[in-house]
Amino acid sequence: MDAPWRRRRRAVLGRARRQGADDLAWTMILGLVAGALLVVTTGLAAMAELERFGPGVGGIVAFRPDPAATEHWSVQAAVVSPSRPGLPSDPPLRSCTLNPGLMAVHGGSLVIEARRLGRPPAYRVHWAGGHTGLGPADCGTDVDLVLERTELMRLANVAGGFTAGIRLIGP
């Protein structure tokens, strides 16, 4: 009575599996892998672009005279020769101290003259204003310095940010 069913079952058992289910699984796996690679690539590209953010050449950090300045920390800076343009690769002439509390008392400004996008990003700045520290660690009233981005940003935060300097097209 159920002979046709048995024949059909034997025929099904002898056949190869359906290819549609396997193709669907591989398509889903490849789609997920492609999506993951796209997310990782986009994230890495965004991080590389974030590295370029920061103050540009011509930016100015202005310290307005304020006798009530209360900052008591300092930043070490490398003094460079004004006759050498750009960021020098040789060791600095000497090191000096930038005390933002003292800089704010006397007033002055830092002008960004050059930048190097590396690890860490470095900026060549020119300080013109009052004394930057006490004693022999003072940078002076007119000097070229090299600062890392974090140090420059800390000084800019104390001064109230960057003022608009020369705007160039490009990074």
pTM of the predicted model over 0.75? no
Please check whether residue 68 lies inside any domain of the structure. yes
DSSP of 20-64, one letter per residue? HHHHHHHHHHHHHHHHHHHHHHHHHHHHHHHHH-SPPTT-EEEE-
Pair (149, 93) in one structural domain: yes
pLDDT in tens, 123-147: 888 988 888 888 888 888 888 888 8
Distance (Å, rounded) from C-alpha 152 to C-alpha 133?
16
Residues 128 and 112: beta-carbon distance below 8 Å: no
Range of the domain at 117: 60-159
Tokens of 100: 């933002």
Residues 74 and 97: beta-carbon distance below 8 Å: yes
Pair (21, 70) in one structural domain: no
The DSSP symbol for 136 reads G
Pair (78, 99) in one structural domain: yes
pLDDT in tens, 84-123: 766 666 666 788 888 888 888 878 888 888 888 777 788 8
What type of residue sits at position 66? D
Please check whether residue 80 lies inside any domain of the structure. yes
